[in-house]
Structure 1
Amino acid sequence: MTTMTPAQWYEWTLWAILLSSPVVFGVLMLLPAAYGRHKQGHSKWWGPGIPTRWSWVIMEAPSSLGFAAIFFAGAHALQWAPLILFAMWQAHYFQRSFIFPFRIKVRPGDTTPVSIPVIAVVTNLMVSFLNAAILSWDGIGHGYPASWLTDPRFVIGALLFVVGYRINRKADAMLAALRRPGETGYKIPRGWLYERISCPNYFGEFLIWSGWAIATWSWGGLAFLLWTLANLLPRALTNHRWYREKFPDYPVQRKAVIPYLL
């Protein structure tokens, strides 16, 4: 029996993400993932529930801890350019895994169907492999010498990443601030980018991973951008439609996720 090389595993994982992204997009356009405001009426398809805060930790932690384990297994992990790219990734995913779940406002007893974090653990480990291995492993990717830090692709990508990071964090904070202690309902977000789009948090994520794809100039980065769009674009469109149906006074000029366009 022939053993697959790391490069072959990488190629297999890459194709799995690339080919499954349009399928995931189509499924989520028809059947919204049953968490948050879209849980009612859909959760029976997604299995029994677990506490929402811990579901976030379970599904996001592989993108922080798994990525770190894969990255530091590589021969080039302690070089400057890979380390800085590693820090960029962790700036998002450490916060998303271990801080964000305990800052969001959830209703007492709120749960998330267990299938959602289970699926996320598998796919997040695959995505982490695609993006960590290119940074530090031999034989995968084009390599990142110190000179990469002055390459226009890294500079442009890193700037876009930072802009998206800022938008994502601020949008999440504004959503969390809408719900006062003891409140359980939903409100119309007001101010800043929320005057233009319903989901600036997702818009920020699109910018983050567009920046990452450019900064790494890699197939792994591109695959993750497509995977992010496949998962979050349907969510943004569904959220936008939900707002308009729930609130008769919802601002008609707002788009869903891209200012002035979509």
Structure 2
Amino acid sequence: MMEDGRIEQGLSQEQQLRDDGSDVVFKIALWGMYLVAALMYFATTRISAPFGRHTRRGWGPSMSAREAWIVMESPALFVTALVYHHGQHHLDVVPHVLLRLFQLHYIHRCLVYPFRIRNDGKVMPILVCSVGFLFNVHNAYLQASWISHYGDYAASWLTSPQFMLGVLLFLLGFGVNIWADSVLLNLRTDGLDKSYKIPRGVLYEYVTCPNYLGEIVEWLGWGVMTNSWAGFAFFLCTLANLAPRAAAHHQWYLKKFSDYPPSRKALIPFVY
């Protein structure tokens, strides 16, 4: 049990939800996210989303890749903020820390990363952007509702081994994700160079997609530090989306480059 009579943290806390209307919406959103993870895995193992190196025709009208990233990821900032401030615990210390960590990722993903990519001629189908936008609305509502309203964290949670492990994983994954993206961006030193090259160095010697590995570890850390069904659902969605895409990237490199290192795995060193 937590101090001050607070209920025990963790997956069992979902059972404490009240049965009013808002709780019904939250429960539907929560278990719906697990369904989304299953559907996402089913789809991504069969179809590679048509953007980036997998861009192809037949997916309807497109928009600038830079604008698409901004639009697609924006709900994770504005929906999260709106929902969070309606929670009964929104003034508590732990929810504030969790909110800032969540926003750390999406400030980068929505407001920094899109302006780092080379946007000349790069597009994303509006359909793909719209699906991503709706997913982020769903997830922003779910995560913000949990940390500010349904989760009930005593201040001592910030010094617990589980929280510190979660933060370590989150920050490690975040750092790996940014570093790996930077390696890819710096492969094209000439602004006119649009060719693909083989990335090398550190984690790139072991896996094709350390950027995806970093993001998966990051959201695993989120699930650990929030100790919730909501956080774990997001981790599963991230895994269901990025693991098959990493495999698709890996096969793309093997076909494009005859000298691609055969010892590299797609996502997890020595394993997958």
**Does TM-score exceed 0.5, indicating one fold?**
yes
For residues 203-256 of structure 1, give each alpha carbon's deviation from its aligned partner in whole angstroms, at most 9, with x where no partner exists: 000110000000000011011011111111111000011000100000011000
1:149 aligns with 2:161: no
Q: For residue 201 of structure 1, report the CA deviation from its aligned partner.
A: 0.3
Question: What one-letter code is carried by the residue in structure 2 that aligns with 1:20?
Answer: V
CA distance in 2, matches of 1:199, 1:64: 26
CA distance in 2, matches of 1:32, 1:24: 11
SS at match of 2:45: helix
Aligned residue number for residue 234 of structure 2? 224
Residue 246 of structure 2: which of 236, 239, 260 is its match? 236
Q: For residue 75 of structure 1, report the CA deviation from its aligned partner.
A: 2.5
1:213 aligns with 2:223: yes
Residue 99 of structure 2: which of 73, 77, 86 is its match? 86
CA distance in 2, matches of 1:76, 1:11: 19
Aligned residue number for residue 101 of structure 1? 114
Aligned residue number for residue 129 of structure 1? 141
Question: What one-letter code is carried by the residue in structure 2 that aligns with 1:14?
Answer: L
1:260 aligns with 2:270: yes
Equivalent residues of 1:203, 1:257 under 8 A apart:
yes
Aligned Cα root-mean-square deviation (Å): 1.3
CA distance in 2, matches of 1:10, 1:38: 35
For residues 26-46 of structure 1, give each alpha carbon's deviation from its aligned partner in whole angstroms, at most 9, with x where no partner exists: 211111100000012xx41x3
Percent identity among equivalent residues?
A: 40
Aligned residue number for residue 124 of structure 2? 112
CA distance in 2, matches of 1:194, 1:72: 41
For residues 95-144 of structure 1, give each alpha carbon's deviation from its aligned partner in whole angstroms, at most 9, with x where no partner exists: 100110010123x232110011111111111111111111111xx23x11
CA distance in 2, matches of 1:247, 1:235: 18
Moved over 2 A (4+): none
Aligned residue number for residue 56 of structure 1? 69
Aligned residue number for residue 9 of structure 1? 25
After TM superposition, the structure 1 stretch with the greater mean CA deviation from structure 2, 201-210 or 77-86, is 77-86
1:122-201 matches, cutoff 5 A = 122-137=134-149, 140-141=150-151, 143-180=152-189, 181-201=191-211
May I ask how many residue pairs the two structures share in their alignment?
253
State the TM-score, normalizing by the size of structure 2: 0.90
CA distance in 1, matches of 2:243, 2:225: 22
1:21 aligns with 2:37: yes
Equivalent residues of 1:172, 1:201 under 8 A apart:
yes
SS at match of 2:186: helix
For residues 68-119 of structure 1, give each alpha carbon's deviation from its aligned partner in whole angstroms, at most 9, with x where no partner exists: 111122222222111111111111011100110010123x232110011111
Unaligned runs of 5+ in 2: 1-18
CA distance in 1, matches of 2:33, 2:177: 24
Unaligned runs of 5+ in 1: none
State the TM-score, normalizing by the size of structure 1: 0.93
Equivalent residues of 1:105, 1:179 under 8 A apart:
no
Q: For residue 4 of structure 1, report the CA deviation from its aligned partner.
A: 6.5
1:67 aligns with 2:80: yes
